[in-house]
Amino acid sequence: MFAALDRLPALGPVTGEPTFSVYNPSTGALLAELPDMGVAHTRAAIEKAHAAQAEWAALTARDRSDVLWRWHQLIVNHTDDLAAILTAEMGKPLAEAKSEVSHAAAYLQWYAEEANRIYGETISAPSTDRRMLVIKQPIGVVGTITPWNFPASMVARKISPALAAGCAIVLKPAEQTPLVAGAMFALAEVAGFPDGVINLVYASEGADVGLELCTHPMVRKISFTGSTEVGRLLMRQCSDQVKKLALELGGNAPFIVFDDADIDAAVDGAIQAKFRNGGQTCVSANRLYIQSGVHDEFAEKFVERVRQLSVGDGFDPGVAIGPLIDTRALAKIEAHIADALEKGGTIRCGGERIVADGTFFAPTVLTDITSTMRVAQEETFGPLAAIIHFEDAEQVVREANDTIYGLAAYFYASNLKRVWRVAEALEYGMVGINTGRMSSEAAPFGGIKQSGIGREGSRHGLEDYLEMKYLCMGGI
Ligand code: ADP
CA 126 – ligand 1 centroid, Å = 49
Pick from 42, 440, 380, 26: nearest CA to 206: 42
List, by residue number, the catalytic residues.
248, 282
Can you name the residues that pair with 427 across neighbouring β-strands?
Answer: none
State whether 311 and 366 are in the same domain: yes
Report the CATH number at residue 333. Answer: 3.40.309.10
State whether 358 and 463 are in the same domain: no
What distance in Å separates the CA atoms of residue 105 and residue 287, rounded to the nearest whole number?
31
State whether 129 and 13 are in the same domain: yes
**Mean predicted confidence (pLDDT) in 48-65:** 98
Confidence of residue 15 (pLDDT cuts 50, 70, 90): low
Can you name the residues that pair with 431 across neighbouring β-strands?
Answer: 409
Q: CB-based contacts of 8: which residues, under 8 Å, 6+ apart?
A: 32, 85, 179, 182, 183, 186
Q: Is the CB–ligand 1 distance for residue 147 below 6 Å?
A: yes
**pLDDT tens-digit readout, 183-228:** 999 999 999 999 999 999 999 999 999 999 999 999 999 999 999 9
State whether 220 and 296 are in the same domain: no
3-state secondary structure of 368: coil
Checking DSSP bridges between strand 285-291 and strand 384-390, what pairing results, if any? parallel
Question: Whose Cα sits closest to atom 22 in ligand 1?
Answer: 207
pLDDT of 5 higher than 60:
no
Q: Is the CB–ligand 1 distance for residue 178 below 6 Å?
A: no
**Mean predicted confidence (pLDDT) in 321-343:** 96
CB 450 within 8 A of CB 428: no
What distance in Å separates the CA atoms of residue 384 and residue 337, rounded to the nearest whole number?
8
State whether 153 and 29 are in the same domain: yes
Question: Whose Cα sits closest to atom 9 in ligand 1?
Answer: 226
pLDDT of 3 higher than 90:
no
State whether 223 and 237 are in the same domain: yes
Mean pLDDT rounded to a whole number for the chain:
95
Q: Is the CB–ligand 1 distance for residue 235 below 6 Å?
A: no
CA 185 – ligand 1 centroid, Å = 20
**pLDDT tens-digit readout, 369-381:** 999 999 999 999 9
pLDDT of 33 higher than 70:
yes
State whether 236 and 280 are in the same domain: no
Q: Give the mutation target among 148, 180, 228, 230 for probing the ligand 1 site: most ligand atoms within 8 A of CB.
A: 230
CB 368 within 8 A of CB 362: no
State whether 237 and 316 are in the same domain: no
Q: CB-based contacts of 194: which residues, under 8 Å, 6+ apart?
A: 52, 55, 56
State whether 359 and 237 are in the same domain: no
Question: Whose Cα sits closest to atom 25 in ligand 1?
Answer: 210
- Residue 81: the pLDDT is 98
pLDDT of 356 higher than 90:
no
What distance in Å separates the CA atoms of residue 179 and residue 149, rounded to the nearest whole number?
13
Using CA atoms of 181, 84, 90, 96 in order, give the dihedral in degrees to the nearest 10: 100
Q: Which atom of ligand 1 is nearest to the CA of 146?
A: 14
In a domain, 446, yes or no: no
73, with CB counted inside 10 A (0-12, 13-18, 19+), is middle
CB 90 within 8 A of CB 325: yes
What distance in Å separates the CA atoms of residue 254 and residue 422, rounded to the nearest whole number?
12
CA 206 – ligand 1 centroid, Å = 5
- Phi–psi pair at 367, nearest 5 degrees: -120, 180
**pLDDT tens-digit readout, 264-305:** 999 999 999 999 999 999 999 999 999 999 999 999 999 999
Confidence of residue 16 (pLDDT cuts 50, 70, 90): low
Residue 203 CB coordination number (10 Å): 25
In a domain, 338, yes or no: yes
Confidence of residue 7 (pLDDT cuts 50, 70, 90): very low
- Residue 12: the pLDDT is 45
Report the CATH number at residue 15. Answer: 3.40.605.10
**Mean predicted confidence (pLDDT) in 73-82:** 98
Checking DSSP bridges between strand 30-35 and strand 19-23, what pairing results, if any? antiparallel
Q: Which atom of ligand 1 is nearest to the CA of 149?
A: 3
Q: Is the CB–ligand 1 distance for residue 210 below 6 Å?
A: yes
Confidence of residue 357 (pLDDT cuts 50, 70, 90): confident
DSSP state of 194: P
**Mean predicted confidence (pLDDT) in 44-72:** 98
CB 462 within 8 A of CB 107: no
**pLDDT tens-digit readout, 105-152:** 999 999 999 999 999 999 999 999 999 999 999 999 999 999 999 999
Q: Which atom of ligand 1 is nearest to the CA of 175?
A: 16
Q: Is the CB–ligand 1 distance for residue 227 below 6 Å?
A: yes
What distance in Å separates the CA atoms of residue 380 and residue 378, rounded to the nearest whole number?
6
Can you name the residues that pair with 136 across neighbouring β-strands?
Answer: 468
Q: What percent of the chain has pLDDT over 70?
A: 97
Tell me the CA distances in angstroms from 301 to 73, 265, 276, 460, one per residue in order.
42, 11, 18, 39
Question: Whose Cα sits closest to atom 19 in ligand 1?
Answer: 206
CA 243 – ligand 1 centroid, Å = 19
CA 234 – ligand 1 centroid, Å = 10
3-state secondary structure of 337: helix
Residues spanned by the domain of 179:
2-249+451-473
- Residue 358: the pLDDT is 79
Q: Is the CB–ligand 1 distance for residue 20 below 6 Å?
A: no
- Residue 11: the pLDDT is 45
CA 467 – ligand 1 centroid, Å = 27
Q: Which atom of ligand 1 is nearest to the CA of 231?
A: 6
State whether 319 and 207 are in the same domain: no
- Phi–psi pair at 386, nearest 5 degrees: -115, 115
In a domain, 84, yes or no: yes
Tell me the CA distances in angstroms from 60 to 97, 169, 172, 459, 460, one per residue in order.
34, 18, 28, 18, 21
CB 140 within 8 A of CB 220: yes
Please give the helix or strand (H or E) that residue 388 lies within, else none.
strand 384-390
In a domain, 445, yes or no: no
Q: How many domains does the chain have?
A: 2
What distance in Å separates the CA atoms of residue 111 and residue 342, rounded to the nearest whole number?
49
Q: Give the mutation target among 145, 236, 277 for probing the ligand 1 site: most ligand atoms within 8 A of CB.
A: 145
CA 226 – ligand 1 centroid, Å = 6
State whether 292 and 314 are in the same domain: yes
Q: Is the CB–ligand 1 distance for residue 207 below 6 Å?
A: yes
- Residue 2: the pLDDT is 46
State whether 318 and 218 are in the same domain: no
